[in-house]
């Protein structure tokens, strides 16, 4: 019974966060995650960028030459981070999406892998973690301004 209540709560919480993410058009992926030693090691950063693009975000690395709209406004994008929660027996990754104020907008389910090779294990775990983003069904909603148009009155 408790498990069913938790699942319902998780579903509603995810749907609420999904609505919150719809105001973001862009995503920024770091060129190196904190648990890796080299830039795009095991191609994990490229895979994260690919998944963000799959879920309808216009995505850039932090080292890319950025377009004007993306670079000038920090609060029009989500920042992607991947946390490593691995232990000796299993590779575990969690995807975290944050806003410009470092508020957590979304935390994925834990992706797991028992593969022994790092490249295969990170790849499989990251794919499982990003699978929980599927429930968000992200669609960018253009923010409407509340500006009133001035009407010119001719004498």
Token pair for 110: 């834990």
The predicted model scores a pTM of 0.78
The pLDDT value recorded for residue 117 is 95
The pLDDT value recorded for residue 139 is 86
Residue 134's alpha-carbon distances to 63, 82, 130, 138, in angstroms, are 27, 17, 7, 8
The pLDDT value recorded for residue 20 is 83
Terminal-to-terminal C-alpha distance of the chain: 73
User: Rounded to whole angstroms, how far apart are CA atoms 58 and 56?
Assistant: 7
The pLDDT value recorded for residue 144 is 59
Query: Residue written as tokens 């509603």?
Result: 12
Over the chain (155 residues), the average pLDDT of each successive run of 10 is 47 48 93 95 96 95 92 90 96 96 95 96 97 88 54 41
């Amino acid at each position: 019974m408790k498990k069913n209540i938790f699942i319902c709560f998780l579903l509603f919480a995810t749907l609420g966060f999904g609505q919150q993410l719809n105001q973001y058009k862009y995503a920024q992926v770091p060129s190196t995650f904190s648990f890796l030693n080299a830039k795009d090691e095991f191609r994990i950063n490229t895979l994260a960028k690919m998944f963000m693009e799959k879920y309808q975000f216009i995505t850039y690395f932090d080292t890319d030459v950025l377009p004007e709209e993306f670079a000038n406004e920090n609060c029009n994008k989500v920042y992607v981070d991947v946390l490593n929660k691995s232990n000796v027996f299993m590779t575990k990754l969690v995807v975290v999406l944050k806003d410009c104020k470092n508020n957590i907008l979304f935390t994925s389910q834990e992706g797991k892998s028992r593969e022994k090779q790092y490249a295969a294990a990170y790849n499989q775990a990251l794919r499982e973690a990003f699978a929980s983003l599927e429930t968000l069904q992200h669609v960018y909603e253009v923010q409407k301004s509340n500006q009133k148009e001035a009407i010119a009155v001719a004498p």
